[in-house]
Structure 1
Amino acid sequence: MSVIQRHIDDRYPVLQASEKVDNALVQLQEHGLHEAPVLKDGKLVALVSVDDLHEAARAHEGDGNVQRIEDLSFEEPETVHGDQHLLDVFEQVSNNRLFDILPVKGEDGEYEGIVTKSGLLRDIALLFHFSEKGSTLEIEAPALGVKISEVISVIEKNDAMVLSFGVAEPEPGAQTMVMTFRIQCQDIYRLVTNLEKYGYLIRYAKPSTGAGADALREKALEFMRYIDM
């Protein structure tokens, strides 16, 4: 089962396209929701917010017309499929911050439920170990001739474990590239000095927040003494 399938909420309240705007507002308020999918014959047709419905209600206030959701115009909503990988939906997760939910469609186009962007972002953070008491290390290296596997090998030889990493694509004509690592390391200052001995330029190194203040202060002094040598 994919991460997205584990997150699907098929009990999240939905609105029908034939619903009157006023009634839809009442339903959302009763459930304490800001947004909801809109279905027609089991198919997703829109994603509406309380603000959208209030605006529609104000626009037709007093004109005697019965406004239904299907009479309104909405952009086609962002959707995901349950079998997609978590990283392949990151663009949808980061787009359209007005909504915290993403409708999920099946292979036949039928509506299956919703996932929350906040829930997916938490899983992305877990995947890359952003929430752990790890250290962040940013290295600048020549764009040509350096293999990431070699850098990882050097890091691991210094009693550190690489949890995740990313590489910023060099700009056209750039001579260097930037690699960012999330690592577990007991002594990041020693790691930094050893990496510099290999000729790597350390642009950023932040130790685990789990280390005590006295220990970090001592490591900082040790690192400064090394620089002065």
Structure 2
Amino acid sequence: MSALLAEDLLNQMIPPLKSTDTTAKAARWLEEFHVNQLPVLVGRNYRGLITGNDLADYENPDTQLAELPLRYADAHVQHDQHFYRVMELAIQNRIQLVPVLDEQQEYAGVVTVSDALAAFGPVPGPAGQGSILVLTMEERDYSLSQISRYVEENNAKILSAHVVTDEHDPFRIRLTLRLNTDNMARITATLERFGYLVSAQFSGTAAVSEDEQDRFDALLRYLSV
């Protein structure tokens, strides 16, 4: 199965702004492209995101973006990072799109969370159901049929799966699963008992903390962005 990397999901329809652009142009583009944020560049270097709230404090339409204190300068991913990192970063920062940098650390484009999730597959059923689970393991230990059996023993099913080589260890893989349940506790306990490392999860189970519940709710809301 092909990996879902940030560079594979770049949205070519959303352009960046330049630091020399004005607040009037930024406001016009936010409306025109139906987004809540846009990246701002100095040359090919990413400097941050401009939002509608940022523009509200500047009445002069000719104010250049270079004069504004941009936020989210650290909210970006590398071109070869997995799509779940895009979602995680977007949810942590409550942003709609995530800038992507290339090998030279220059701006390559943006990935929207809705594009990332659409590429992974539609969420079945009503909002609030379903979850995403990311496992890390030695490549020799990978068996989707075995993992599926552990999931099904806990009254759930794997709806889709993607495998990518771990960016930090070429002998390990990262497996991202979409499940048809939001009750992850027994599934993760079973998988961990058999030696699988759960490296990330987005779940609506009542057992998670309030912060984790907010993150999952945000993830589901992004599906309709």
TM-score under structure 2 normalisation? 0.51
Aligned twin of 1:21: 23
Aligned twin of 1:178: 185
Q: Is the 8 A contact 1:2 1:83 kept in 2?
A: no
Alignment partner for residue 102 of structure 1, among 95, 98, 101? 98
User: C-alpha separation between the residues in 2 aligned to 1:37 and 1:24?
Assistant: 10
Q: Which residues of structure 1 form unaligned runs of 5+?
A: 137-148, 167-176, 182-229
Aligned twin of 1:49: 51
Aligned twin of 2:69: 73
Quick check: which has more Rg, 1 or 2?
A: 1
Larger RCO (alpha carbons 8 Å, 6+ apart): 2
User: Helix, strand or coil: the match of 1:19?
Assistant: coil
**C-alpha RMSD over aligned residues:** 4.0
Q: Shift of the alpha carbon at 1:123?
A: 4.5
Aligned twin of 2:80: 83
User: Helix, strand or coil: the match of 2:48?
Assistant: strand
**Aligned-pair identity (%):** 23
Instruction: Specify the code of the residue in structure 1 equivalent to 2:63.
Output: Q
Query: Any idea what the Cα deviations from partners look like across 1:38-79, whole Å, max 9, x if unmatched?
Result: 111111111111231132x23x68xxxx52101111221411
1:114 aligns with 2:110: yes
Structure-2 change in CA distance of 1:6 and 1:54 (3 Å): same
Aligned twin of 1:190: none
Q: Is the 8 A contact 1:14 1:36 kept in 2?
A: yes
Aligned twin of 1:131: 124
Aligned twin of 2:38: 36
Alignment of 1:136-175 (within 5 A): 152=149, 155=152, 162-163=157-158
Structure-2 change in CA distance of 1:54 and 1:179 (3 Å): same
Query: Any idea what the Cα deviations from partners look like across 1:109-146, whole Å, max 9, x if unmatched?
Result: 1111111012223455x4xx85279x98xxxxxxxxxx
Q: Shift of the alpha carbon at 1:161?
A: 8.1
User: C-alpha separation between the residues in 2 aligned to 1:16 and 1:68?
Assistant: 9
User: C-alpha separation between the residues in 2 aligned to 1:27 and 1:153?
Assistant: 48
Structure-2 change in CA distance of 1:67 and 1:152 (3 Å): same
Query: Any idea what the Cα deviations from partners look like across 1:72-121, whole Å, max 9, x if unmatched?
Result: 11221411122112234442032222x21111111211111111012223
Size of the aligned set, in residue pairs, is 148
